[in-house]
Amino acid sequence: MRLSAESLSGVRGERPLFSSLGFALEPGDALVLTGPNGSGKSSLLRLVAGFGRPTAGTLRWNGAPIADDLESYQRVLHFVGHQEALKPALTARETLRFWADLAGRPLDDTLGPLTTMGLARAAAQPCRFLSSGQRRRLALARLIAWQAPLWLLDEPTVGLDDEALALVTDLIERHRARGGIVLLATHQPLALARARHLSIADFPPARPAAATAW
């Protein structure tokens, strides 16, 4: 299992964000994306998730460009973005089941992942009654339910209390210990062992060639 990015350039809208960016991740690796607001961390994660194409460079999964078979590639990853996309009328438990069915990965046990995320008592509550931290915990419960090998996490800890922060750290470390790969963006330092860091600011967009002065 190997995820690599070679000479990647990305834009969002019209704006160039980074260029010549590269990394290679193998089982057990964690790469933490850092950089100021608006520098392109979410945009990079979206590219790695296969939502959009880089303007240059190649993303590879096990050596093959992800664009060659995006559907198969997207089955091995789990992306947790900023938006939890919860349906207000569904309970936490129904939400997990709904997501599982939508992804074509039916679940035997919905309560287990919710319990792990400290949501057992909220399992029967409609999502409209969940707090923002509980909503975040619910989005993260999907990671436990699916066990995809590649986790792409965009600021997974926003709005979480200390207990949930420790839970997420533990989830990530257990995932790595099983041979999983994690790529995450965060402004909040996480206590991950031997995590690598990549600052988007170290890969500034290529400048257009300067006009010749006469």
Ligand X SMILES: Nc1ncnc2c1ncn2[C@@H]1O[C@H](COP(=O)(O)OP(=O)(O)OP(=O)(O)O)[C@@H](O)[C@H]1O
Site for ligand X in 152-211 (CB under 6 A): 185
Site for ligand X in 38-77 (CB under 6 A): 38-43
Q: Is 198 left (phi over 0), alpha (psi -120 to 50) or beta?
A: beta
Q: Is 104 in the site for ligand X (CB under 6 A)?
A: no
The residue behind tokens 């590269």 is 22
Q: Which segment (13-21, 125-133, 140-148, 164-172) binds ligand X by CB under 6 A?
A: 13-21
* 117 within 8 A of 137, measured Cβ to Cβ: yes
CA dihedral 80, 87, 93, 30 (to 10 degrees): 0
Nearer to ligand X, 62 or 199 (CB): 199
Which strands make up the sheet holding 30-34, listed edge to edge?
77-80, 150-154, 181-185, 30-34, 196-199
Pairing of strands 196-199, 15-25: unpaired
Q: How far is the CB of 61 from ligand X (least distance, A)?
A: 22
Residue of 1, 4, 12, 133 interacting with ligand X (CB under 6 A): 12
Q: How far is the CB of 165 from ligand X (least distance, A)?
A: 18
Nearer to ligand X, 30 or 92 (CB): 30
Binding footprint of ligand X on the chain (CB under 6 A): 12-13, 15, 17, 35, 37-43, 185
